[in-house]
């Protein structure tokens, strides 16, 4: 078992949540309905304020990825509400499924599954924000009313996981320009972006519209147009 702690000179962690280490701990084939991936589990010790937190991130690999430039890659943050409970309030589960299907279709790629619920604010705060959204506030305003950032996710561990997998550069499967720039700031070479556009439902359309307008996500307005009339002013 490889227990070597890998340190990358490309890292430049923000103050307050400095990542201390990320190491590979286990790998195994994982048959899924999209094909057989290999699940590589990594343990990252991260500092949140003064507290050390251990997180188990997953690199879900399909095909041969070592040395592949421009590898299709999704950096995905966990979402228990949609992925486990089938919540329709967001498009996380749809995006995860679409990315895995697309990677399998392309023959090679990786999904980095990052353990940071609710755009990094944690499950309890996410549910608090949902309570405010049920009163009519959108996702950005709800976070701000709770004194929380719009997006607190960190991607430092991705650098170590890429090093372990020997992947030199990515094409990132995302609609989120902040995610691209966050990874580039860490030294990850992003050669391009592959859009992940899922069909919204009446519950998620308001949330997606907020992401498009207030968080500059690349989502075509035409995708949301058919549902805008259905949901009216409903903001999730
Ligand atoms: Zn979600």
Kindly list the structural domains of the chain, giving each domain's residue range(s) and its CATH number in brackets, ordered by start. 19-116+153-198 (3.40.50.10990), 200-236 (no CATH)
Going from the Cα of 119 to the center of ligand 1, the distance in angstroms, rounded, reads 8
Going from the Cα of 196 to the center of ligand 1, the distance in angstroms, rounded, reads 14
Q: Is the predicted pLDDT of residue 229 greater than 70, yes or no?
A: no
Going from the Cα of 80 to the center of ligand 1, the distance in angstroms, rounded, reads 7
Q: What confidence score (pLDDT) does residue 224 get?
A: 55
How far apart CA 109 and CA 33 sit, in angstroms, is 16
54-63 residue pLDDT tens: 999 999 999 9
Q: Which of 102, 150, 151, 163 is catalytic?
A: 151
Q: Is the predicted pLDDT of residue 17 greater than 60, yes or no?
A: no
Would you call 153 a catalytic residue per the annotation? yes
CA distances from 133 to 27, 40, 126, 141, 236 (A): 39, 36, 10, 9, 5
Going from the Cα of 29 to the center of ligand 1, the distance in angstroms, rounded, reads 26
Would you call 128 a catalytic residue per the annotation? no
Going from the Cα of 89 to the center of ligand 1, the distance in angstroms, rounded, reads 7
Q: What confidence score (pLDDT) does residue 223 get?
A: 54
Q: What confidence score (pLDDT) does residue 93 get?
A: 95
Q: Is the predicted pLDDT of residue 3 greater than 70, yes or no?
A: no
Going from the Cα of 4 to the center of ligand 1, the distance in angstroms, rounded, reads 33
How far apart CA 32 and CA 131 sit, in angstroms, is 34
Are 4 and 21 in contact by the 8 Å Cβ rule? The answer is no
Going from the Cα of 130 to the center of ligand 1, the distance in angstroms, rounded, reads 11
Closest CA to 109 of 168, 171, 166, 41: 171
Residue 129 has φ and ψ, to the nearest 5°, of: -65, -35
34-54 residue pLDDT tens: 999 999 999 998 877 678 889
The angle that helices 205-214 and 221-231 make with each other, rounded to 10 degrees, is 130
CA distances from 13 to 72, 111, 123, 164 (A): 24, 22, 24, 19
Q: Which of 119, 153, 154, 156 is catalytic?
A: 153
Q: What confidence score (pLDDT) does residue 234 get?
A: 29
185-210 residue pLDDT tens: 999 999 999 988 777 777 777 777 77
Mean per-residue pLDDT over the chain, rounded: 83
Q: Is the predicted pLDDT of residue 132 greater than 80, yes or no?
A: yes
Going from the Cα of 3 to the center of ligand 1, the distance in angstroms, rounded, reads 33
Q: What H or E segment, with its residue span, contains residue 89?
A: none
């Amino acid at each position: 078992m490889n227990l070597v702690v890998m340190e990358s000179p490309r890292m430049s962690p923000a103050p307050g949540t400095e990542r201390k280490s990320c190491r590979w701990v286990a790998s195994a084939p994982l048959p899924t309905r999209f094909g057989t991936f290999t699940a590589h589990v990594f343990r990252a010790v991260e500092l949140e304020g003064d507290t050390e937190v251990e997180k188990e991130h997953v690199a879900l690999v399909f095909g041969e990825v070592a040395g592949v430039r421009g590898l299709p890659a999704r950096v995905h943050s966990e979402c228990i509400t949609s992925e486990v409970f089938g919540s329709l309030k967001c498009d996380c589960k749809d995006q995860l499924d679409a990315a895995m299907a697309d990677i399998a279709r392309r023959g090679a790629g990786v999904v980095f599954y990052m353990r940071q619920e609710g755009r990094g604010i944690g499950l309890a705060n996410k549910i608090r924000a949902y309570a405010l959204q049920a009163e009519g506030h959108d996702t950005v305003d709800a976070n701000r009313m709770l004194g929380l950032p719009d997006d607190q996710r960190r991607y430092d561990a991705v650098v170590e996981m890429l090093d372990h997998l020997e992947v030199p550069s990515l094409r990132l499967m995302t609609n989120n320009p902040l995610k691209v720039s966050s990874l580039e700031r860490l030294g990850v070479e992003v050669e391009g972006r592959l859009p992940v556009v899922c069909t919204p439902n009446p519950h998620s359309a308001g949330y997606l519209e907020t992401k498009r307008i207030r968080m500059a996500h690349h989502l075509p307005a035409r995708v949301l147009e058919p549902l805008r009339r259905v949901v009216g002013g409903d903001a999730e």
